[in-house]
Structure 1
């Protein structure tokens, strides 16, 4: 197949071409579900340039993928902004931010998988890392810091709590992508439960450090007033045996 040759770009049009390249590469990723069909040649064909024109902007396929994923996560910042808008309660806001992250990842799984593929040990931070640090990480840190001001966490724990919430969200996303047939509940019900458990469980460990010991925590929970509603039917567990 012959590549359609574009007219010579006017001076200063390099940034426009780079944007077209990133967009075309992202489209190929989404269409094919992974990066196997996203070759430099395929991107060049879609944009209508020759492969050497791609290399003027991106050193190799990995550099192009990094740029695509960084652009992808720039859009996440808009989603998080909308999710946290007009939510005064930081506890409610951190939950909404976490669920917005999960929804965003599930909407475009191919891009999310590529963004979090394994990188060589000792490699320099990627553009994805830079974008997340400047957007999603900043939003979560700010909200968890408000919770620290309320006394749920200590100020020095903020970064730890953010990392744990991110780990929980990423874990849920990865498992939902790999095992979509499991019972994830309606409207991310299971994801919401996990994020609540991480946030409130961490707050418990802060307020009652002794509960870091599993036996102490279990004894303390046993001594709490029973506030668990009764099961619907105690015989349900034996029906059908």
Structure 2
């Protein structure tokens, strides 16, 4: 999620506005982000965001897509650098939790039904969700062929793993668990 530090000068205004909004999202909840503040941070007139986003919800939907893309990229990168199915499953979960801990507002926005509806994802969000599901599903498909995991229902195991890791991410984001607890917890969950 790279963002420019300066205001908008030339090029892609929509990306500049999204970058400014992502900067805000690092310290402010989605509920408190205004188009006026995004425009101010991007160095453009307060009406400029309306040319690219019909309203605040459209901007937040775009940020949800960028957040999901960043979450997916973090998971794909973590898995790519690890050998062994069990270790890759743990790396996937750890990347998920670390992204949530590093970008709690963006992570929350990815799952906010007001902006990123699971049952009717946007055209931009749908392929990211599908890739994320395929990543987890593919690894779990491999996992159920590993000793100690054979015979388990891959769909049920995928749901159990995702639910557990998502819950852990929420607990860490809310300060109920330290981030350092994630790795040993995932080790205990998937060995």
**Larger RCO, structures 1/2 (Cα 8 Å, 6+ apart):** 2
TM-score (norm 2): 0.78
- Say if 1:166 and 1:35 are closer, same or farther in 2 by CA, change over 3 A: same
- Secondary structure, aligned partner of 2:144: helix
Determine the C-alpha separation between the residues in 2 that align with 1:83 and 1:21: 29
Partner of 2:4: none
TM-score (norm 1): 0.63
Partner of 1:172: 168
Give the aligned length. 182
Partner of 1:228: none
Determine the C-alpha separation between the residues in 2 that align with 1:39 and 1:122: 24
Partner of 1:92: 87
Deviation at 1:146, TM superposition (A): 1.1
Aligned partner (choices 121, 127, 132) of residue 129 of structure 2: 132
From the CA coordinates, give the structure whose radius of gyration is larger: 1
Deviation at 1:196, TM superposition (A): 4.8
- What 5-or-longer segments of structure 1 have no aligned partner? 1-5, 201-241
Determine the C-alpha separation between the residues in 2 that align with 1:49 and 1:60: 16
Contact 1:165/1:199 (CA < 8 Å) preserved in 2? no
Deviation at 1:96, TM superposition (A): 1.2
1:29 and 2:25 aligned: yes
Contact 2:72/2:128 (CA < 8 Å) preserved in 1? no
Determine the C-alpha separation between the residues in 2 that align with 1:66 and 1:139: 23
Determine the C-alpha separation between the residues in 1 that align with 2:19 and 2:26: 11
Instruction: For residues 67-123 of structure 1, give each alpha carbon's deviation from its aligned partner in whole angstroms, at most 9, with x where no partner exists.
Output: 112112222233223322342310111011101110111011122122222438896
Q: Which moved more, 1:51-60 or 1:92-101?
A: 51-60
- Say if 1:123 and 1:73 are closer, same or farther in 2 by CA, change over 3 A: closer
